[in-house]
Amino acid sequence: MKHAGICLAAALSVMAGATGSAQDKNRNDLKKPLVIASQGSFFVGGEKKSIQAGDVTVNQMYVQYQIPSNGNRHLPVVMVHGCCLSSKTWETTPDGRMGWDEYFVRRDRPVYLADQVSRARSGFDASTISAVKAGTQPPSALPNIIYASQQIAWTVFRFGPKFGEAFPDGQFPIQAVDELYKQMIPDLNALLPNPNPTWKNMAALAVQLKGAILMGHSESGFFPQQAALLDPSGIRGMISIEMPCPDLSADQIAKLAKIPTLVMFGDHLGDVKGGPANWAQSLETCNVYVQKVKDAGGDAVMMYLPKMGIKGNSHMLMQDRNSLQLADLIIDWIDKHVEKK
Amino acid sequence: MKHAGICLAAALSVMAGATGSAQDKNRNDLKKPLVIASQGSFFVGGEKKSIQAGDVTVNQMYVQYQIPSNGNRHLPVVMVHGCCLSSKTWETTPDGRMGWDEYFVRRDRPVYLADQVSRARSGFDASTISAVKAGTQPPSALPNIIYASQQIAWTVFRFGPKFGEAFPDGQFPIQAVDELYKQMIPDLNALLPNPNPTWKNMAALAVQLKGAILMGHSESGFFPQQAALLDPSGIRGMISIEMPCPDLSADQIAKLAKIPTLVMFGDHLGDVKGGPANWAQSLETCNVYVQKVKDAGGDAVMMYLPKMGIKGNSHMLMQDRNSLQLADLIIDWIDKHVEKK
């Protein structure tokens, strides 16, 4: 039972507390009851589309939130998951530890988890699939559905050099990898119009919240920037975790340079060969992006973790064993670069 | 902004509190901060399947939970949504009021929300769609995807006699119907093997929780019973909201009669003509089912709301304006028939 496991871990941690380090001590409060001022869920965006069965709503984005009792002290953080995943990314880790969703709330941040448009509780536009079944469109009209198979995930997420072999210093809780596999779900983003409605919805959510920090990962790593290029007015900070950075025009860079930016990359970027991702190259493109933002007078920080002495992080670093240490780095960055406290 | 709306409603409610009824007064505590002993998410079930891209996990069920500080006093309640919907069903209502998920937690019940297998964060088996695109299976192999279009939902969910016309005494917050439309997502249950893996997963979850009350609605209304027929050992109570009741054998009835059962139906069952649902007939079949369970010595209760003087409830009664009154009926039933306090 997952939460029984968590309780046991919590109890053991309390027992160990007396001899723990300052950082351990700092986290003893995580075992206290969580006090929520308000919570709930809602949708952002969505348009009516007429299909054979009648009118349906498409392109809406499902958002689930928790506001802690001290939440008015800090800006909300919006977390958006990557390819072939849902908001589960940010929740309880595969090995049953607290996710970033709750940790940020316990650090007094209102947290908003968004399922990307066309994924999970946001639903998707199924009309093409129905039309192919009905014979009114050819099979070639079907979307290219992306799966992260277990074999692909192992290497693309950098658990080890090849499937079944883990990096000796890897931070991912590899004994619980089967639980990660359960959260990998088909990616239907190929069904989406261009530009991706998630970008507009993220920008709209930031406006609705009267200011928010947007965080993306992998497939959605640059979504905070894509949202800001559409409407920067609500976006107070952008956190981008492990993705390729595109080549942007000087105008685009100037627009993005007005918003504090954090980019984070884990370890072993060049230690996995082949596959659809080239993380070493992604880091390079993001180093270029960060430098361009700085050259344009912006505040951009690259946290390349191994360079900071933090070793072994996978692509799923929010689920890695040191995930709360990384969360603390992000919260510290928010305090110093966005909220300037 | 949804939660701002809730806060406003809360403030108005506090202002009205001094002159409110006993029941209003009883709900003033809902504005207090929510205290959570633990929360998180996990999966139940799931099997490895080999597809062209490698191995993927299918048939897993995503579960999100909150355990209140007094949660050890009461049995957990597992809520499973209906057709073309997700666990959003039980969360913040379309007009921004507290959902049953939080209300049950505030009434000291641990609450577990499960996305049905093949829906939302549980993912789905997309291999048939990919095979049809690749030309290795014919278009006829594609699933019959069920959409609840706005037109179909209006009448099937009994908001009014025909699309765009609401029942004068209807309890559904019809001004917010567009927000309901956003939570209606394509139903891929046609992809599922037989028996539906959600049944096995619900039974397994009840065992894992060392005893739980299972609640289903509409498409999942009889899932608690289907789960109990597979493995009743963890199931302490079954709550079935608005569905047809199937004809069962005496053996099956005898098995189900060992578990306290509540069936609930709303209003206007015969006041909508045509469409894929026949609610008046569904009530009749469930009256027969309830009587058979009683005849077998079981404890079964039919709450046909209009007969109890509660008028105007729609099919989405957990989102209706009197949703908390209905939740109180269920909680009272749990206390008296399941926990026998």
Whether the predicted pLDDT of A12 surpasses 70: no
Q: What value does the mean pLDDT take over residues A107-135?
A: 97
Q: What value does the mean pLDDT take over residues A7-28?
A: 47
**What is the rounded distance in angstroms from the CA atom of residue B166 to the CA atom of residue B160?**
4
Element (H, E) at A303: strand A300-304
pLDDT level of residue B8 (50, 70, 90 thresholds) = very low
Which of A40, A53, A60 is facing B91, going by the closest CB pair?
A40
Structure-model confidence comparison of residues B29 and B20, the more confident one: B29
Contact across the interface for A120 and B121, Cβ inside 8 Å:
yes
Distance from CA of A267 to the nearest CA of B (A): 25
- Using only C-alpha atoms, chain A has a radius of gyration, in whole angstroms, of 20
**What is the rounded distance in angstroms from the CA atom of residue B318 to the CA atom of residue B303?**
14
Instruction: Please give the distance of CA B329 from its chain centroid, rounded to a whole number.
Output: 15
pLDDT level of residue A105 (50, 70, 90 thresholds) = very high
Could you tell me the two tokens for B149?
């279009």
**What is the rounded distance in angstroms from the CA atom of residue A162 to the CA atom of residue A178?**
16
pLDDT level of residue A24 (50, 70, 90 thresholds) = low
Q: What value does the mean pLDDT take over residues A210-217?
A: 98
Whether the predicted pLDDT of B16 surpasses 80: no
**What is the rounded distance in angstroms from the CA atom of residue A12 to the CA atom of residue A169?**
24
Distance from CA of A177 to the nearest CA of B (A): 12
Contact across the interface for A139 and B135, Cβ inside 8 Å:
yes
Whether the predicted pLDDT of B288 surpasses 50: yes
Cα separations in angstroms, B306 against A58, A315, B236, B250:
35, 55, 27, 30
Whether the predicted pLDDT of A290 surpasses 80: yes
Number of Cβ pairs closer than 8 Å across A and B?
Answer: 220
From A193-197, A245-249, B144-148, the region with the lowest mean pLDDT: B144-148
pLDDT level of residue B24 (50, 70, 90 thresholds) = low
Distance from CA of B103 to the nearest CA of A (A): 11
Distance from CA of B57 to the nearest CA of A (A): 6
**What is the rounded distance in angstroms from the CA atom of residue B338 to the CA atom of residue B341?**
8
Distance from CA of A76 to the nearest CA of B (A): 13
Element (H, E) at B261: strand B261-265
Which of B35, B144, B179 is facing A33, going by the closest CB pair?
B35
Q: What value does the mean pLDDT take over residues A190-211?
A: 98
Backbone angles phi, psi at B331, to 5 degrees: -60, -40
| Full 3-state SS string of A158-215 | CCCCECCECCCCCCCCHHHHHHHHHHCCCECHHHCCCCCHHHHHHHHHHHHCCCEEEE
- Cα dihedral A306, A307, A308, A314, rounded to 10, equals -20
Mean pLDDT over all residues of chain A? 93
**What is the rounded distance in angstroms from the CA atom of residue B144 to the CA atom of residue B187?**
9
Structure-model confidence comparison of residues B7 and B295, the more confident one: B295
pLDDT level of residue A224 (50, 70, 90 thresholds) = very high
Query: Cβ contacts (< 8 Å) between A181 and chain B: which residues?
Result: 46, 56-57
ipTM of the complex: 0.93
The pLDDT, as a whole number, for residue B196 is 98
Mean pLDDT over all residues of chain B? 93
pLDDT level of residue A25 (50, 70, 90 thresholds) = low
Q: What value does the mean pLDDT take over residues A247-263?
A: 98
**What is the rounded distance in angstroms from the CA atom of residue B159 to the CA atom of residue B316?**
9
Contact across the interface for B41 and A88, Cβ inside 8 Å:
yes
Query: Cβ contacts (< 8 Å) between B143 and chain A: which residues?
Result: 129, 133
Could you tell me what percent of chain A has a pLDDT over 70?
93
User: Would you tell me the crossing angle of helices B223-230 and B197-208 to the nearest 10 degrees?
Assistant: 70
Which of A41, A55, A178 is facing B88, going by the closest CB pair?
A41
Nearest of B222, B90, B82 to residue B157 by alpha carbon: B82
Contact across the interface for A54 and B151, Cβ inside 8 Å:
yes
Contact across the interface for B34 and A36, Cβ inside 8 Å:
yes
Other C-beta atoms closer than 10 Å to the C-beta of A273 total: 9
Whether the predicted pLDDT of A177 surpasses 70: yes
- Cβ atoms of B59 and A154 within 8 Å: the answer is no
Q: What do you get for the CA distance between the two ends of chain A, in Å?
A: 41
- DSSP-based three-state secondary structure for B329: helix
Could you report the per-residue pLDDT of B245-268, keeping only the tens digit for each? 999 999 999 999 999 999 999 999
Which of A121, A123, A142 is facing B186, going by the closest CB pair?
A123
pLDDT level of residue A329 (50, 70, 90 thresholds) = very high
Nearest of A115, A246, A91, A137 to residue A188 by alpha carbon: A115
From A22-36, A179-193, A279-293, B256-270, the region with the lowest mean pLDDT: A22-36
Q: What residues does B264 pair with on adjacent strands? A: B241, B303
Conformational region of residue B120, where left means phi above 0, alpha means psi within -120 to 50, and beta covers everything else: left
- Cβ atoms of B193 and B56 within 8 Å: the answer is no
Q: A1, A7, A8, A38: which to substitute to probe chain B, counting the most B Cβ within 10 Å?
A: A38
The pLDDT, as a whole number, for residue B1 is 38
Q: What value does the mean pLDDT take over residues A32-50?
A: 97
Q: What value does the mean pLDDT take over residues A291-311?
A: 98
Contact across the interface for B36 and A34, Cβ inside 8 Å:
yes
The pLDDT, as a whole number, for residue A13 is 39
Cα separations in angstroms, B284 against B219, B280, B329:
17, 6, 21
Contact across the interface for B54 and A135, Cβ inside 8 Å:
no
Q: What value does the mean pLDDT take over residues B154-158?
A: 97
Distance from CA of A249 to the nearest CA of B (A): 34
pLDDT level of residue B131 (50, 70, 90 thresholds) = very high
**What is the rounded distance in angstroms from the CA atom of residue A309 to the CA atom of residue A306?**
5
The pLDDT, as a whole number, for residue B14 is 37
Could you report the per-residue pLDDT of B63-107, keeping only the tens digit for each? 999 999 988 899 999 999 999 999 999 999 999 999 999 999 999
Which of B6, B150, B185 is facing A38, going by the closest CB pair?
B6
Q: What value does the mean pLDDT take over residues B53-68?
A: 97
Whether the predicted pLDDT of B9 surpasses 70: no
Half-sphere exposure of B238 toward its Cβ, with a 13 Å CA cutoff?
A: 33
Query: Cβ contacts (< 8 Å) between A132 and chain B: which residues?
Result: 132, 139, 142
The pLDDT, as a whole number, for residue B109 is 98
Q: What value does the mean pLDDT take over residues B171-179?
A: 98
Structure-model confidence comparison of residues A5 and A168, the more confident one: A168
Whether the predicted pLDDT of A61 surpasses 70: yes
Q: What residues does B51 pair with on adjacent strands? A: B54
Nearest of B190, B246, B188, B243 to residue B219 by alpha carbon: B243
Please tell me which residue of chain A has the smallest CA distance to B115: A121
**What is the rounded distance in angstroms from the CA atom of residue A186 to the CA atom of residue B188?**
13
The pLDDT, as a whole number, for residue A314 is 98
**What is the rounded distance in angstroms from the CA atom of residue B330 to the CA atom of residue B336?**
10
Please tell me which residue of chain B has the smallest CA distance to A69: B33
Structure-model confidence comparison of residues B142 and B13, the more confident one: B142
Please tell me which residue of chain A has the smallest CA distance to B141: A133
Contact across the interface for B179 and A42, Cβ inside 8 Å:
yes
The pLDDT, as a whole number, for residue B15 is 37
